[in-house]
Amino acid sequence: MQLLGFRDTLGVLVAAGVLILDQLTKALVVQHMALHESFQVIPGFFNITYVRNTGAAFGILSSQAPWIRSTVLVGSSLLAMGFILWIWFRDRGSSGSGVICLGMILGGALGNMADRVRLGEVVDFLDLYWGRYHWPAFNVADSAVTLGILMLLPSFVLSKKEESRH
């Protein structure tokens, strides 16, 4: 019996790639920039800005005690990763594109959880803005999770339509 088929191996490689790229880019930012330092990449649109997020998305929970933040955020990451793996193994017969998306989401979740466990906060540095309107800073892990979810949505919608036909 083969433990990992091509589909699973592909997903594991995607997850590992996202995790490595995320941790590498964060390490480079931490090593070469001072906290809150920023430099312009695309004027009026994109900066590299080193910040740390003690909370979840958009700073949610950042005002809570550190032990509450850690418990809730690491715990929810573990639950989310368990759910991703459940979907992964439940849909083993599906195409490789779904497992690529799940690998992106899993790798991103692992990347941010690694920061939370090691640092108690997440390193963010990608700063998109238009004029004076800034999107909250994010990182490679956040990007992979977002893209993975957006790429999965059409397949979920199509599968629901297919289920409703039967």
Q: Which residues are catalytic?
A: 124, 142
* Runs of H (alpha helix) within the chain: 6-32, 66-90, 96-119, 140-165
Q: How many residues does the chain have?
A: 166
Largest CA distance in the chain: 58
Return the DSSP state at 64.
Answer: S
Looking at residue 53, the DSSP 8-state letter turns out to be E
Residue carrying the six token digits 């993975």: 148
Distance, CA of 21 to CA of 10 (rounded, Å): 16
